[in-house]
Chains A and B, each alone.
Chain A
Amino acid sequence: MKEFSVFDIIGPSMVGPSSSHTAGAVRIGLVANKLAAGERIKLVELTLYGSFAETGFGHGTDRALLAGVLGVSPDDARVRFSMLLARSEGIWVEIKKGDIEQDHPNTATIRIRTVSGREFRLTGISVGGGNIEIIDINGMEVSFTGDYPTMIAFYRDVPGVISKVTNILALEHINVAFMKVFRNAKRRDACMVIETDAPIPNASLERIKTEIDGIEEICTV
């Protein structure tokens, strides 16, 4: 039986109307915001699926996703005005309804292009009560909740990479809460998702990126 906190019942403080369709959507957007890593965003394309597509307008799901992309938190009154906010920052926003059927009814894909031309996309699901899961980044299957500091590393699937990464974390006394690895095919592109109790220092991220053969890209959430 799950141990509830009193603040699971009284809370969260949030912009309405729905914890799954509004607060959860903001949180999916916030993950995209962190993946942009402070770079100025030029274009945001939001694709809403299932119940998000059917009732998203009335729940403000589109504005909520966009608010998160802009770094606005779920309890910030500006969630409602995210379209204006995006316009004032010169960000082009496109909103689409996805017609491909998804496994989860509350699914959204966010595609972002930054000013430097870097492009990425992620897909997240809102699983209820404002909780979310990111299930795909740039076509690679992943799974994390955004509740913990998270490092996502893309690498070539060769033996030894995982232990080299965890060695560097161990040196900094970073405790790993959850760790998962994913790959498209044997010895091809792979991805590891590491959720830690404390954020990973920049110096360690730099070491992982430069010292370990096979690591291609790292991002943190």
Chain B
Amino acid sequence: MTSRSSLFRAALRIPPSCIVFVVLLVTLWVLRPNMMNPAILGTFARQVVPLGIVVLGQLLVISSRSIDLSAGGIILLVNYLISSGLLYSWPLLPIVLLCLGVGLAVGLVNGLLVGKRRASAVIVTLAINIVLIGLVEYLANGKPPGDVPAEFHALYNLRFWTIPAPVMFWIALAGIMSAFLGVSVFGRFVWSIGSNPTSAHFSGVPVERTVVIAHVISGLMSAVAALVQTSSIAVGSVRFGPELVMNSIAATILGGVVFGRPAEVWGPFVGVLCFALLFVVMTTMGVQEPGKLIVQGLIILLAAIFYGLRSKSN
């Protein structure tokens, strides 16, 4: 009995994303063995790079017991800034810096309202999101989206050996985030708040400031994700965002980061890879858009129930 329950506990400690990843990989291998080659899998992985980058920020805010639903709005705004032609004469670097600045600014507003003003994070980021979407749609109204500068697209299609450049970039960014959380004081603060905000307060952790910074980083990550997302398409578009936010929460939770658990980068990283595989598996199995939504919803729900059960068993 004890050995079985300890085995059960050990199984609970592995992030669910790893298990799901293995299951999906096996499924794909059975269904389409010819797809199991690095070039094709790399292309699949490339599709989820924007999601993966958003998740790097989302895991920070979720671990600090907050949430960020504004990624869609930021991506839309950055996409508009690049493709509208407003900045057509600008060189690449200032455009990138401007976009990152937009992400930082939105993140800061989110953070101040959530951390300092103590407003509900869901509502704040949701409201910011609809403000941004409305703004972009208003600005873009009537005008067809313009072209994305060619440099972006060239960068997107670059491959090192067989690995696409965006995937390399994502892995590097995840590595940096993981290292940052591991070695910086900020990482300790996020872990502490994730584990117990009251204890964090009594330990002298600046809880409010940490939440603000987590939101700023999350905003920045959304802007970076927007740059990658924009590079992937030749012309601007106003039709993405919402499902990306849903997926970022799903991947984070699947990766073992839930409210009140220490932030961890690689669990959610694998969670994002799960989504890459999931899209492929569902497409090969002929599952349409509705099916995908249902599966995503189920994944979030089951992962959350999994943690609910675990917190009860402790």
Chain A partners chain B: no
